[in-house]
Amino acid sequence: MTSRPLSGWAAVDARARTAKRAVFAETRRGFKLLRERIRNSGIAFVNISAKQLRRATRLRAQAHKQVHEIGEAKKRIDTYRAEWGVERDIARAVSGSEPIIVGPWLSEVGYEVLYWIPFVRWIQSQYDLPPDRLVVVTRGGAASWYSDITTNAVEMFDLMSPDAYAAGNAQRSLEDRGTLKQFGVSSMDHRIVAEVQERIGASRTRVLHPSLLYRLFHQFWLGHRPPSFLEKRTRYRRIAVPKVAVPPLPPKFVAVKFYTAASLPPSDAVRQALQSMVVSLAEQTPVVMLDTGLAVDDHEDYAFAASRIHSVRESLRPRDNLAVQSAIISRASSFVGTCGALAWLAPMLGIETTAVFADARFLHGHLEVARRVYSTLGVRFSPLDVSAIEQLGLTLVSSRITSS
């Protein structure tokens, strides 16, 4: 069967529908291409924006890093400038030919032994200062610790009573940042220097003040300067045994000095651990307790009583108590005490030392300094954290003693 040809109007209509479909298809194709272009443009915009954002973030981070580095560089420059200023002050303090007053030292024993004396020794070597030009001002017979530097000394307790010293130091602490550390020159320093000048008969003197030490080593104690900074500005060596009378002592004994400190607070747990430790020592060998009963600083002695524990409190006087304690330690088989003060001194007397603490946060970098120094001096130095005893549930002995 053959198809019949369309009439004229039907053919026109068919051609129109075909053209319409073609136009619609072309339009749909155009819209599709337009959507593709829009989508591609959007993707390109997002990609470019993300790239620009990453670049902006990277530039911002680099800018922050540069600002931080500039800030750190400024801090370093300020630190170096401050240190150079201190070293210029040291050079001025030791220039000329007048007597040089070394001190007065009014701060903690630990800083005196571990830093101040080695610092003074370095200054003497650095500037070739004759011993007879130096006059040491300290207290409790501690001038004997400087005997390799100079024998010229003025005892603080010849100038004032222990009570006046303690009161003056407390007032000085209020004037100087609320600390015993001598960051500045106080009115008490000025009074003492004037009395020392009168005592040695010198109207003009130079003063090598402890504030130079605290200003120079401040960034080192904060952990911002390397160990080499300290090593270049100190001279460590053993301290000569003071020539002073001591009370009767056992032929062999352990010297013990425990006192309250931030690193060894007077808590029940700490006191119990120390009691147990002292009793354990006393069961093996006599113990000589170096409790002084003197209230000249902000520390309080731990004192324990039991058989084979000897106290030398009655033999210690303000004027020479540090010299006597040094001499006693030098005769001991070993020393055990609070980490600080005499625990820094005992190894310099050649005595094996156990330094006890409960919280190392307050010791800063002093322990690392001590380890390096005493290793160089060839003396055994052993830090002991008593908090570990409690954490492990251990006890040293079962004996009971009384504390006083």
- The per-residue pLDDT for 56 is 78
The domain total for the chain is: 3
Residue 51 tokens, joined: 């790239």
Same domain for 183 and 206, yes or no, is: yes
Same domain for 377 and 272, yes or no, is: yes
- The per-residue pLDDT for 353 is 97
The rounded distance, in Å, linking the Cα atoms of 389 and 269 is 10
Same domain for 258 and 398, yes or no, is: yes
The rounded distance, in Å, linking the Cα atoms of 230 and 235 is 9
The domain boundary residue, chosen from 35, 65, 85: 85
Rg (CA), the chain: 38
Residue type, 204: R
Same domain for 71 and 102, yes or no, is: no
Residue 89 Cα to chain centre, angstroms: 24
Same domain for 195 and 331, yes or no, is: no
- The per-residue pLDDT for 386 is 86
Give pLDDT < 50 ranges for the chain. Answer: 296, 394, 397-404
Q: Is 146 exposed, middle or buried (0-12, 13-18, 19+ CB in 10 A)?
A: buried
Residue type, 376: T
The rounded distance, in Å, linking the Cα atoms of 191 and 175 is 15
Same domain for 306 and 349, yes or no, is: yes
From first CA to last CA, the distance across the chain in angstroms is 133
Same domain for 280 and 383, yes or no, is: yes
Same domain for 338 and 392, yes or no, is: yes
Write the CA distances from 31 to 39, 178, 298, integer angstroms. Answer: 12, 81, 89
Residue 383 tokens, joined: 């830090």
Position 220 in a domain: yes
Q: Which residues contact 320 (CB under 8 A, 6 or more apart)?
A: 140, 141, 244
The vertex-302 CA angle with 272 and 110, nearest 5°, equals 120
Position 227 in a domain: yes
Same domain for 273 and 169, yes or no, is: no
Same domain for 295 and 216, yes or no, is: no
Position 15 in a domain: no
Per the DSSP assignment, residues forming a β-bridge with 276 are none
Position 398 in a domain: yes
Position 112 in a domain: yes
The domain boundary residue, chosen from 66, 85, 104: 85
β-strands 381-385, 353-357: how paired? Answer: parallel
Position 272 in a domain: yes
Same domain for 76 and 104, yes or no, is: no
The domain boundary residue, chosen from 67, 85, 103: 85
Position 258 in a domain: yes
Q: What is the CATH number of the domain that holds 136?
A: 3.40.50
Residue type, 218: H
- The per-residue pLDDT for 197 is 96
Same domain for 75 and 117, yes or no, is: no
- The per-residue pLDDT for 29 is 78
Position 3 in a domain: no
- Mind listing the pLDDT tens digit for each residue in 85-134? 999 999 999 999 999 999 999 999 999 999 999 999 999 999 999 999 99
Q: What is the value of pTM for the model shown?
A: 0.79
The rounded distance, in Å, linking the Cα atoms of 369 and 388 is 23
Which residue, 16, 217, 11, is CA-closest to 119?
217
Provide the domain limits for residue 74.
21-85
Which residue, 357, 362, 363, is CA-closest to 385?
357
State residue 310 phi and psi, 5-degree precision: -110, 135
